Amino acid sequence: MRLKCNSGFTLLELIITLFLITLIVGLSTVTFLSRQPSEMLNSSVRQIVSTLKYARTLAQSTGEIKVAVFDIDNKTFMIEGKKQNRLPEGANITFNDPLHGITKKGVYRIEFYPSGLTGYANIIIEGYNKTFHINIDPVVGAYVVKQ
> Which of the four CATH numbers 3.40.50.2000, 3.55.40.10, 3.30.300.30, 3.40.50.300 does domain 38-146 have?
3.55.40.10
pLDDT at 8: 74
What distance in Å separates the CA atoms of residue 26 and residue 16, rounded to the nearest whole number? Answer: 15
What distance in Å separates the CA atoms of residue 106 and residue 122, rounded to the nearest whole number? Answer: 16
List, as one string, the DSSP characters of 64-100.
S-EEEEEETTTTEEEETTS--EE--TT-EEEEEETTT
Three-state DSSP at 107 gives strand
pLDDT tier for residue 69 given thresholds of 50, 70 and 90: very high
With 70 as the cut, is the pLDDT of residue 3 above it?
no
Please indicate whether residue 113 or residue 33 has the higher confidence score (pLDDT).
113
pLDDT tier for residue 143 given thresholds of 50, 70 and 90: confident
Region 16-20 average pLDDT: 91
The domain ranges of the chain are 38-146
Q: List the single range of 20-24, 54-58, 135-139 with lowest mean pLDDT.
A: 135-139
